[in-house]
Amino acid sequence: MAKRFLGGAVAVGLVLAGGFMWFSRPDPNTGPVPITSAAHSGSDTQAGLVADSIVVPSLSGLAVQGEAEFNANCASCHGVNLAGTNQGPTLIHSLYRPNHHGDGAIALAAMNGVHAHHWQFGNMPPVEGITPQNLTVIIAYIRALQQANGVL
């Protein structure tokens, strides 16, 4: 399966309309995983935080641009202020602390997509049109929020 996933990621990278291929591959193991009913219970999401409980630091430098890029490219799944949604996990989680998911891992996730492995949200597709410049500022933003919330 790891091989198929890599193969899929490469194909998606090569074909401009790669997003379509990603979703249309017939392998049931790599298709979207239905979100369990637990994901919808309460005001929280499966791996989400209550947005109000997140400490939002005053951002400076690259992180300011990063917030806009994150909101445009990532927040539909990872939530405003990284809170998570029912489409993707919060990134304010010790799993994603810098020494466990380094900056390179964030960049790879955005460029190649991620095979679902920690959660039940399904795969993360490659983020279309994302550039290294976008990622530099997005990573600065993610780290600023993580740091303000004790994810060190």
- In the bound state with ligand HEC, the residue whose beta carbon lies nearer, of 51 and 107, is 107
Q: Is 124 in the site for ligand HEC (CB under 6 A)?
A: yes
Q: How far is the CB of 33 from ligand HEC (least distance, A)?
A: 8
Residues 6+ apart with CB under 8 A from 143: 63, 98, 103
Q: Using CA atoms, how far apart are residues 78 and 73, in angstroms rounded to an integer?
A: 10
Q: How far is the CB of 37 from ligand HEC (least distance, A)?
A: 18
Which one among 31, 97, 103, 119 touches ligand HEC, defined by CB under 6 A? 119
Q: Using CA atoms, how far apart are residues 76 and 124, in angstroms rounded to an integer?
A: 12
How many CA within 13 A on the CB side of residue 6?
3
Which one among 12, 54, 138, 145 touches ligand HEC, defined by CB under 6 A? 138
Q: Among candidates 77, 97, 109, 86, which has minimal Cα distance to 142?
A: 97
Site of interaction with ligand HEC (CB under 6 A): 73-74, 76-78, 87-89, 96, 101, 105-106, 109-110, 114, 116-119, 121-122, 124-125, 127, 130, 138
